[in-house]
A and B are shown apart, each in its own frame.
Chain A
Amino acid sequence: MNTDDLIDFLATRVEPVDPHRQDRQALAALLMSFAAATAAVIVALGLRADLMEAMVSAGFAMKIGFLVTLVAIALWGLRKGARAGAADPVPLGLLCVPLVLLWMLGALELARLPLASWRATVLFYEWPVCLLSIPLLSALPLVALTLVVREGAPTHLRYCGALTGLCAGGLGALAYAAYCLNDTPVYVGVWYVAGIAAVTAFGWLMGPRMLRW
């Protein structure tokens, strides 16, 4: 078939399309996979006993604020960057802002504590659960978001893979926060960050495979 015929053919039926459909799909994927991850936490781990008091505490607000910021940066980057021909539009150095703030809070926390209790603060007894749960809980958000991102025909597959992983990791961590008792910046800055970083790295590695179209 020659190209002119192909063009005539393709223009015989042109259905209107909605360029914002992908935004809605992303929102639906985000909400549904987050709800599923939270349900998994409730069933498998249970809610933290002090959830009501924790909800109004500064530590919990700091933790949730940090995670929501990561998810928001990732979504912003994906919305702009997960398109054919998009330059990497979001300076990923932006991610350093919440991270450095969190680590500064962590450093202040440690500075107030005697050296002897640092080890116990960092290695809070549940850290293996945290480190394992966040990637596991991220699996469903990762799959759901990957499907939506791929629809957008991205061409920067590692960049988009990493941001998809970051977003999924953040959602997994938010779900895990419904169970986790430890709201200290040291703990969040080490184990939450490690779990999310693992999912982000996975996305960076697998981006060229999982996002190709």
Chain B
Amino acid sequence: MQSADVDLDHLMIASQAGDAQAHHDLLRQASTHLRAYFRRQLSRYGHGLDAAEDLLQDTLLVIHTRRQAYLPGSPVLAWIYGIARYKLIDFLRARHRSFSHLPIEDAEHVAAQDGYEGIDTARELRKALASLPNNFRLPIEYVKLEGLSIAEAAARTGMSDAAIKVSIHRGMKKLAAILSEARP
């Protein structure tokens, strides 16, 4: 546990410096911790694996878009679990209005919001993808989401292999830009 945490500290700092591989590793390690955490917590309230996976993705997106908010030197796991708990409480409050309080420490720090609509960041991602023109959206959907090869995607869209690669590359940049703007 101790060494994993130290490892995460290094990954987080490298990720802040723009190291894509470290960022990837950080998100993977975080997802292992968080998946277990959300499944355990949600099962107590009768929610299934889908809800846990949605919350996990929400949390990963926050870790990604707010990575500048991590203070170097502070414990990364505490930061990550802080975000996860915040998302979890949001989720439970939105779905269990009758709960006057939650048996989660620090719950009182996140007040109930009347009429609050849960922010589904994974849905925001799908919405951002839908807003792209077809020549960017389709290659991303085929290759990144459906797992087709470049050649298969090229055959399906009638574009050249090179054009598919360029479209994916530029489309991803557009998506990242849309997502960082959409951040509230």
A residues adjacent to B (C-beta < 8 A): 1-3, 5-19, 21-22, 83-86, 151-153, 155-159, 207-209, 212-213
Knowing A18-B68, A151-B69, A156-B106 are in contact, say whether A208-B86 is a contact too (CB < 8 A). no
CB-defined contacts of B98 to chain A, threshold 8 Å: none
Report the Cα distance A13→B60, complex, angstroms.
Answer: 15
Known: A7-B24, A7-B60, A84-B66. 7 other contacts (CB 8 A): A9-B144, A13-B176, A16-B16, A17-B16, A17-B68, A153-B86, A208-B110
Of the 9-residue stretches B40-48, B70-78, B130-138, B150-158, which lies at the interface with chain A? Answer: B70-78
Contact A11 B27 (CB under 8 A): yes
Taking a contact as CB atoms under 8 Å apart, the answer to whether B57 and A85 are in contact is no
Q: Is the CB of B69 within 8 A of A1?
A: no
B interface with A by C-beta (< 8 Å): 15-21, 23-24, 27-28, 31, 35, 53, 56-57, 60-62, 64, 66-72, 74-75, 78-83, 85-86, 106, 108-111, 113, 122, 125-126, 144-145, 172-173, 175-176, 184
**Across the two chains, which residue of chain B brings its CB closest to A16?**
B18
Chain A nearest CB: distance from B66 CB in Å? 5
Instruction: Find out whether the CB atom of A156 lies under 8 angstroms from the CB atom of B18.
Output: no
Chain B, interface SS category: helix
In whole angstroms, how far apart are the Cα atoms of A153 and B184 in the complex? Answer: 11
A-B contact count (CB 8 A): 127
Does A19 contact B126, Cβ atoms closer than 8 Å? no
When the two chains form the complex, which single residue of B35, B64, B83, B111 contacts A85, counting CB atoms closer than 8 Å? B83
Contacts of B144 in A (CB 8 A): 5, 8-9
A2: nearest residue on chain B (CB-CB)? B53
Contacting pair B27 A5 (CB below 8 A): no
Output the least CB separation between B134 and chain A (Å): 18
| Chain A residue contacts of B61, Cβ below 8 A | 6, 10
State the CA gap A151–B20 with chains docked (Å). 23
CA distance A5 to B56 in the complex (A): 13
Shortest CB–CB separation between residue B104 and chain A, in angstroms?
12
From A205, which residue of chain B is reached at the shortest CB distance?
B111
A22 partner residues in chain B, CB cutoff 8 A:
68-69
Question: Smallest Cβ distance from B46 to chain A, in angstroms?
Answer: 22
